[in-house]
Amino acid sequence: MEALAHVNYWAAIALAMIGLYAIIAPSNLIKKLIGLGMFQSAIFLIYITAGKVEGGTAPIIDAAYEVYSNPLPHVLILTAIVVAVSTLAVGLALTVAIKRAYGTVEEDEIVEQDRR
């Protein structure tokens, strides 16, 4: 069990790095936004993991339970998920606007058109 004490953090880092790769490597703008979304949820995983208390239950007060997980990360991430979706919507709208202006959503083709 000792070796697994940080497994959730490592998983979150692995997911974040897959997201980071998906932001840098593809030239397609939609693919980059997908990577951004994966990076964001990886950060959420770090927060929720930090709030988990061993043997705890969901932070809804009831006489039958005594140990609860920390509610604060839940509140933060609840807000963050909604904000993430709004920023993603703006990003996707920008992509659609770029498609209208340039006729493509591939980054290198857009840069090439700008050079001309």
Q: Which residues, 2 to 41, sit near other proteins by CB under 8 A?
A: 4-11, 13-22, 24-31, 34-35, 37-38, 41
To other proteins, the closest distance from the beta carbon of 3 in angstroms equals 11
Closest C-alpha among 84, 81, 85, 57 to residue 71:
57
Mapped to the 3 state alphabet, what secondary structure does 4-53 carry? HCCHHHHHHHHHHHHHHHHHHCCCEHHHHHHHHHHHHHHHHHHHHHHHCC
Nearer to other proteins, 86 or 116 (CB): 86
> Is residue 110 near other proteins by the rule CB under 8 A?
no
Name residues contacting other proteins, limited to 42-101 (CB under 8 A).
Answer: 44-45, 48-62, 67-75, 77-79, 81-90, 92-97, 99
3-state secondary structure at position 24: helix
Q: Is residue 105 near other proteins by the rule CB under 8 A?
A: yes
Q: How far is the CB of 116 from other proteins (least distance, A)?
A: 19
The reply to whether 115 sits near other proteins by the rule CB under 8 A is no
